[in-house]
Amino acid sequence: MKYNEIEPFVAKSREYPNYSDKDYWVTRYENVKGPFDWYDDYETLSPTIQDLKLPKRSFILNIGIGNSDFSEKMYDDGYKKSYNIDYARNVIHYMRQRNKRLRSSMIFETMNVLDLDYEDHQFDIVFDKAVFDCVLCGIDADKKASIFMKEVYRVIRPKGYYFLVSNSEPENRLQYLQAPGLKYDIVVHTIINDQEQADAFGENGGNMNVMKKTHYIYICQKMEEPDENEEEWEEEEDTQKEEEKKEKIEKDKNNEILEIKDNNNDKKEEDKRTEKSKAKSTKSKSKKRKKSQKE
């Protein structure tokens, strides 16, 4: 187990509504105006993410996205295979509309993290900023926490990551991350918060809330070995990437050939027009000479 201290970013909430209640979130997102990040923003977490050396072709799942611009900024950094879920349908609609032009390949889906509609081993990394904390706020918290952890673990590829940002210390979170059946290698980063930040709706009449001064990033790498299907999948993806590269080169060559042909055709047309113009000019001069001789 490793502990690393990194620089802070955010602060939030003195009051504690029932964050595990779906109706609370649907109501909260009825009047969304602009992005808001729980705990930390992309700029703060980016150095830690970069340390993982994730390939840009990685499949990424962001759970409980709300109206955060975290996944948008990651997409702009080149991580295009971005899946984003929340069980509040209205915020998913909002996020689709917000990104339909500039980030049209981002996927937004209404989904409950306790019942993920994804294949086993589908993602290279799952990002969770405060979602697990919310699960633990409600009724049957331990039961839901167990289901949550199993679902997240199921969709992560071997050697992939669960990137959890939580306001709870290791003695309260590791019991879930080290539950039977979960094989993670875990590194914990400590974040010290010393700033105030408005609530998501604080600028529109809400209260300025202050977050607990310390929270944590749990980087959990799944330590299962890839099976044959996983290795084949990687080989197929590499092969597909090479084929796409070859297709692009071939397409560029064909475009160059077409451009040369077009240029040649344009030159021929220009030559024809020049010849016609010369012939017309010669004919006109000949007529003028004949006319002059007659006179």
At 31, the pLDDT band (50, 70, 90 cuts) reads confident
User: Residue 162 is inside which H or E element, if any?
Assistant: strand 156-166
What are the respective helix, strand and coil percentages of the chain, to the nearest 5?
Answer: 45, 20, 35
Give me the residue spans of the domains in the chain.
2-226
What's the CATH superfamily of 2-226?
A: Vaccinia Virus protein VP39 (3.40.50.150)
What percentage of the chain has pLDDT greater than the value 70?
Answer: 69
Is residue 218 pLDDT above 50, yes or no? yes
State the pTM of this model: 0.69
Kindly list the strands in the beta sheet with 107-110, ordered across the sheet, starting from the edge strand earlier in the chain.
2-6, 184-192, 214-222, 156-166, 123-129, 60-63, 82-86, 107-110
Is the distance from CB of 90 to CB of 68 less than 8 angstroms?
no
Query: Quick one: pLDDT band at residue 147, thresholds 50, 70, 90?
Result: very high
Stronger pLDDT, 227 or 52, i.e. the higher one: 52
Instruction: Please state the φ and ψ torsions of residue 201, each to the nearest 5 degrees.
Output: -120, 15
The C-alpha atoms of residue 223 and residue 169 are separated, in whole angstroms, by 23
Tell me: the pLDDT tens digits for 170-216?
999 999 999 999 999 999 999 886 554 444 333 333 333 334 567 89
- The residue type found at 128 is D
In this model, does residue 37 exceed pLDDT 90? no
The pLDDT score that the predictor gives to residue 195 is 52
Checking DSSP bridges between strand 156-166 and strand 123-129, what pairing results, if any? parallel
% of the chain surpassing 90 pLDDT: 51
Distances (CA, A) of 188 to 159, 171, 210, 218, 221: 17, 12, 23, 5, 12
Burial 162-182 (b: 16+ CB within 10 A, else e): bbbbbbbebeebbebbeeeeb
